[in-house]
Amino acid sequence: MDKQTRTNADIIPYTSEYARNVLSWIDSEDTLYAVCRSKNYPPPDTLIDTWQRKDVTSYLMSTRGKVVAYGELWNRPLELAVEIAHLIVDPYKRGEGYGSMMLDLLYSRAAARDNVAKVVIHLFHEDPEALGCFVKAGFEIQGTTTYTQGLKLVRLVEP
């Protein structure tokens, strides 16, 4: 990805007018499972709306006027943490660095919050590319998840 693209990308708050766009990026059973551990493909039209909750802040990444990625920040106050979840990139933009850029932007937003000591990602599927992206972004494998099979990755927030 060229420097111009990186400079012009930013995250904006999610609004429901983009639900169909984001839903269209779930283009296979594997993608659906990777994003939300569901095996009910195709997903219901209301899936993205069901992700919107009071303790979740949802974002879209836009570059050159086009939305190319979606992700969420989940508050985990008992852990002094924020979790990055439902990270997905437009299938026509995958492999171009947008996932890494979205991850960096979400981490920055999470780390800037008060009372946050770490940012967490749960990886529930075998995806070497996703794991490599997370590790390259400074996340370390802390162990396995506590409530289902998967890896827990953590990046500490520097004061």
* pLDDT value, residue 9: 83
Which 3 state secondary structure label does DSSP give 85? strand
If residue 131 lies in a helix (H) or strand (E), which one and from where to where? helix 128-136
Rg (C-alpha) for the chain, rounded Å, is 15
Long-range contacts of 89-94 (CB under 8 A, 24+ apart): 89/25, 90/21, 90/25, 91/25, 91/27, 91/31, 93/68, 93/69
Percent of the chain with pLDDT over 90: 74
pLDDT in tens, 114-130: 999 999 999 987 788 88
Q: Is the pLDDT of residue 150 over 80?
A: yes
pTM comes to 0.91
Quote the pLDDT of residue 2.
44
| Tokens at 137, concatenated | 């972004």
CATH class of 3-156: alpha beta
Cα(42)–Cα(23) distance, integer angstroms: 10
Closest CA to 117 of 143, 83, 156: 156
